[in-house]
């Protein structure tokens, strides 16, 4: 079974073993003739793959109790990967979603690390810097670079911890591994969205 | 006595009664011939006002124990306005600084509200929205607009609360009043930087 999570810039494809990150064109060239289930947040993608009869869009089958209408299908699939937890997808944006007993409780959106660094740079040249990836979150910063690095990571960490209340904490996405290491007992897994898709496929017998 | 806090885009002038926000040119036209003490973070400003002999730069007199070299003089003056507290200056950037017993403990920088909204918009058209200024921080959001508004305010609120430990919480700056209302017992005062300058002037007898 092949599963694909179609984003705005990339296709993430899971062969039940590992995840491949491809451009849309690369994905179609390599897997266009394979049987594949996909979800997509990309406008017009379904029309683009109309010529590939073995590609099946299961976005409308992804039902998450309590979710809101405009919530991205990838976020819903991620939240379906376990019945309880805080789900963090850290990419160009960072989404943080809370699920209790299989029911979506709500969530929020934070700019991704790159967008945050660009935001500082847009304010003033003096705030144009790179991330200190090993910034110490236990000490208040004493430099501009650390003040910015801390300002990106510590606020969202404090808020996630406030919501955790003993729930499992799951990370996925391009910056997921990096962010997860700032938390104790965080679980990083780049297959979570696909695990959610698999649960839907098994549960709804759409395969 | 006139005091001025020279920023990158505006001059903030305090006449011991109220604060005026002027462009640099407006400030010089209106107050160029008046006796005035100023601090400045604007490169080249001292040279620009060399023709105004009554304008006196006291930036080098602003000494905050524990502060770091490149810390903006306006942040230092703000931190000198009281011996103990968390000092939030919410403008194009939001600085958060902690002072205990008159000694600077460190601080961090967060993008201002406008820069955060622009950061979301830069990621995706779907994240292009305005702020819900009355977003409920006690409820996890269920819309994109609220998820973003919450994502801007709730993380920095959680981090400030983590550091507060009973210290007074002071807000200043253009968005200071707006942000302060999300906190219990926050003090908003647009004269704090000038209060810090006044304490330096009185203490060091530079007047």
Q: Which residues of B touch A144 (CB under 8 A)?
A: 70, 109
Q: Do A154 and B154 touch (CB under 8 A)?
A: no
Look at residue A17 in the predicted model and tell me its pLDDT. Answer: 96
pLDDT tens digits along B73-118: 999 999 999 999 999 999 999 999 999 999 999 999 999 999 999 9
B15 is catalytic: no
Contact assessment for residue B78 and residue B58, using Cβ atoms and an 8 Å cutoff: no
Residue A163: its chain B contacts at CB < 8 A?
140
- Cα–chain center distance at A71: 13
A113: which DSSP letter? H
Taking CB atoms and an 8 Å cutoff, what residues of chain B touch A174? Answer: none
pLDDT at A206 over 70: no
Chain B residues with CB under 8 Å of A108 CB are: 140-141, 147-148, 150-151, 154
pLDDT surpassing 80 at residue B205? no
Q: What is the pLDDT of residue B12?
A: 97
| CB pair distance less than 8 Å for B123 and A144 | no
Q: What digits encode the pLDDT tens for the residues B27-64?
A: 999 999 999 999 999 989 999 999 999 999 999 999 99
Residues of B with CB under 8 A from a CB of A: 8, 68, 70, 92-93, 95, 98, 105-112, 115-116, 118-120, 122-124, 126-127, 139-144, 147-148, 150-151, 154-156, 158-159, 161-163
Query: Is A151 in Cβ contact with B155 (below 8 Å)?
Result: no
Q: What is the mean pLDDT of chain A?
A: 95
**Which one, of A178, A169, A166, A126, lies nearest residue A147 by Cα?**
A126
Q: How far off is chain A from B191, nearest CA to CA, in Å?
A: 23
Return phi, psi of residue A109, to 5°: -125, 135
Reading the block at residue B133, the tokens are 């200024």
User: Would you place residue B133 in the very low, low, confident or very high pLDDT band (cuts 50, 70, 90)?
Assistant: very high
CA distances from A96 to A76, B22, B38 (A): 11, 41, 44
Reported as a single tens digit per residue, the pLDDT across A116-162 is: 999 999 999 999 999 999 999 999 999 999 999 999 999 999 999 99
The Cα–Cα gap between B7 and A67 comes to 45
User: What is the per-residue pLDDT for B101?
Assistant: 97
* Residue from A15, A43, A69, A74 carrying the catalytic annotation: A74
Tell me the average pLDDT across A5-24: 95
Mean pLDDT of B154-170: 96
pLDDT on residue A203 = 86
Tell me if residue A53 falls in helix, strand or coil.
coil
Among A41, A117, A127, A154, the residue to mutate for chain B (most B Cβ within 10 A)? A154
ipTM higher than the 0.85 cut: yes
Q: What does the pLDDT look like over A72-117, one tens digit per residue?
A: 999 999 999 999 999 999 999 999 999 999 999 999 999 999 999 9
pLDDT of residue B1: 87
Q: What are B136's two structure tokens?
A: 């409920």
Q: Report whether pLDDT(B9) > 70.
A: yes
- The shortest C-alpha distance from B23 to chain A (Å) reads 17
Nearest CB among A68, A122, A144 relative to B115 is that of A122
Which one is catalytic: B74, B89, B97, B175? B74
> In this structure, what DSSP letter does residue B61 have?
G
The CA distance from B3 to A194, in Å, is 61
pTM of the complete model: 0.94
Token duo for residue A158:
């404090």
* Banded pLDDT at B203 (limits 50, 70, 90): confident
Of A68, A115, A148, the CB nearest to B109: A148
Q: How confident is the model at residue A8 (pLDDT cuts 50, 70, 90)?
A: confident
Nearest to B148 among A106, A109, A162 (CB): A109
CB A4 within 8 A of CB A15: no
What's the pLDDT tens digit per position in A34-70?
999 999 999 899 999 999 999 999 999 999 999 998 9
Set of chain B residues whose Cβ sits within 8 Å of the Cβ of A123: 92-93, 111-112, 115
Cα atoms found within 13 Å of the Cα of residue B41, Cβ hemisphere only: 19
Residue among A70, A109, A119 whose CB faces B115 most closely? A119
A108·B162 Cβ contact <8 A: no
Instruction: Confirm if B45 and B58 have CB atoms less than 8 A apart.
Output: no
């Amino acid at each position: 079974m092949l599963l694909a999570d179609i984003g705005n810039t990339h296709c993430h494809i899971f062969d039940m073993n590992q995840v491949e990150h491809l451009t849309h064109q690369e994905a179609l060239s390599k897997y266009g003739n394979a049987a594949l289930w996909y979800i997509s947040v990309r406008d017009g993608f379904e029309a683009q793959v109309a010529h590939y009869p073995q590609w099946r869009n299961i976005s409308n089958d992804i039902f998450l109790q309590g979710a809101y209408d405009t919530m991205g299908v990838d976020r819903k699939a991620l939240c379906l990967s376990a019945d309880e937890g805080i789900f963090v997808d850290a990419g160009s944006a960072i989404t943080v979603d809370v699920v209790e007993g299989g029911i979506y409780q709500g969530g929020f959106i934070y700019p991704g690390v790159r967008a945050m660094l660009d935001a500082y740079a847009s304010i003033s040249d003096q705030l144009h810097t790179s991330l200190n990836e090993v910034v110490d979150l236990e000490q208040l910063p004493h430099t501009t670079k650390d003040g910015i690095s801390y300002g990106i990571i510590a606020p969202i960490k404090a808020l996630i911890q406030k919501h955790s209340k003993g729930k499992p904490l799951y990370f996925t996405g391009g910056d997921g591994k990096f962010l997860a290491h700032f938390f104790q007992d965080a679980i990083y897994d780049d297959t979570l969205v696909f695990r959610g898709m698999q649960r839907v496929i098994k549960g709804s017998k759409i395969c």
